[in-house]
Homo-oligomer: A and B are copies of this chain.
Amino acid sequence: MYKNLDNTRLNAILAKEQARYEEYKAMNLKLDMSRGKPCKEQLDLSMEMLDCINSKSNLVRGVDYRNYGLADGIPELKELFGKLLGGLCKDEIIVAYNASLNLMYDTIQRAMQFGILGGKPWNKEEKLKWLCPVPGYDRHFAITELFGFEMINVPCDENGPDMDMIEELVKDPAVKGIWCVPKYSNPMGIIYSDEVVRRLASLKPSAKDFRIMWDNAYMVHSLYGQDELLDIYAEAKKCGNEDIVYMFGSTSKVTFSGAGVAFMAGSKANMDDARKYMSKQSIGPDKVSQLMHAAYFNSVESIYAHMEKHAAILRPKFEAVLEILEEEFWNTGIATWNKPRGGYFISCFLAEGTAKRTVALAKEAGVVFTGAGATYPYKNDPNDSNVRIAPTLPPMEELITAMRIFCCCAKVAYLEKITQ
């Protein structure tokens, strides 16, 4: 453990790591570890989907899928995703857009402008607050920041966000919602425990229009077989609380990122409320893309089978990262990290006050990591500790180099700090 070593010894290690750092710098690398993007091999997996529709295809299925109509998605996908979500009926699901962020943003914008289920528009509230389990997804926080919410950090452990704290916070009527990535969370890789899901589902916030934004982005993105996540909507129904949750998901990391299909789901009341405005906003979704997805995935099982292929590509990458972290940080006491069973990230907590410096050093050596702090509201990590590692995009060799550099930088940052 570094903290048990004397200054002479620490300076010696620092000198060694600095020398190593200079060697890395001399390699003139240009590696990008910043975003949770699928790699080429993953994208190649779905190329055959593009053969599912061609000029010989019959696109007239009662409704002509090449024409206007089916404003809230094609029945084939509503059924498929409805099954994936545990058996929803067609009124409880909307399939629209090429990715789910748009659905989430629009949902909050609608609440701001028009209110929810006839309630007061959020724009007319004095003060707006939002709960943000941390660390979390930067694009979520960017939306609630844009709309002027005061974002409140809620710490997470391996079971999910701190429910005692949440149950206390929702007594404030200014608190209008919470972001959740409940399965293989971004970036912690947490699967919310049954108890956390049940307590979320049965929340009784002061604000009647409080909503859980249940971004189930990685619902099928397992590395070691499907793990169970309790069905929040079913739990909410049990306690007459079914309007509390909007569920979101997409095939962004199943088929193509940007050319996927996305859905939102929840109570008929919530969905009808959304449909009312969406019918003014849009003439309907891209039914050709939707039908192509439906032709490629004709069952829930076919989605799971497809995700197995993703897992086969990603497992070695995640395991390589974990091995390097273990080897490099063994007996240093300067870092902890999660070992996710799915999702897109490994979340690394460095010694307090060293994340920014670590990422800056890595950048100087040609390796871009997600900005330190990006996983917190206002890009402000109060401990300057968390770094999100995205192992999916780089080829294995680059990934290994990037991770070696990351660990070296983290050590330099720590040793610089305590030997000052």
- Residue numbers of A with Cβ under 8 A of B are 35, 37-38, 40, 43, 46-51, 53-55, 57, 60, 64-69, 97-99, 101-102, 105-106, 109, 112-113, 123, 139, 142-143, 146-147, 252, 256-259, 277, 280-289
Contacts and interface: CB of A to CB of B under 8 A. Distances in A.
Contacts of A281: 101-102, 105-106, 109, 143
A285 B99 CA distance: 9
Nearest to A39: B67
Given A50-B55, A281-B106, A259 B66 contact: yes
Q: Report the copy number of this chain in the oligomer.
A: 2
Contacts of A35: 68
Contacts of A54: 50-51, 54
A8 to B, nearest CB: 48
A400 to B, nearest CB: 22
B143 A280 contact: yes
Contact of A258 (B60, B67, B98, B280): B67
Nearest to A53: B50
Which of A48, A68, A277: most chain B Cβ within 10 A? A68
Nearest to A97: B282
B55 A43 contact: no
Given A64-B40, A64-B43, A257-B68, A286 B289 contact: yes
Nearest to A250: B283
24 contacts: A40-B60, A43-B66, A46-B66, A50-B53, A50-B54, A50-B57, A50-B288, A65-B258, A67-B256, A69-B258, A99-B282, A99-B284, A106-B281, A109-B281, A113-B113, A113-B147, A123-B123, A139-B280, A139-B283, A258-B285, A258-B286, A258-B287, A259-B288, A288-B289
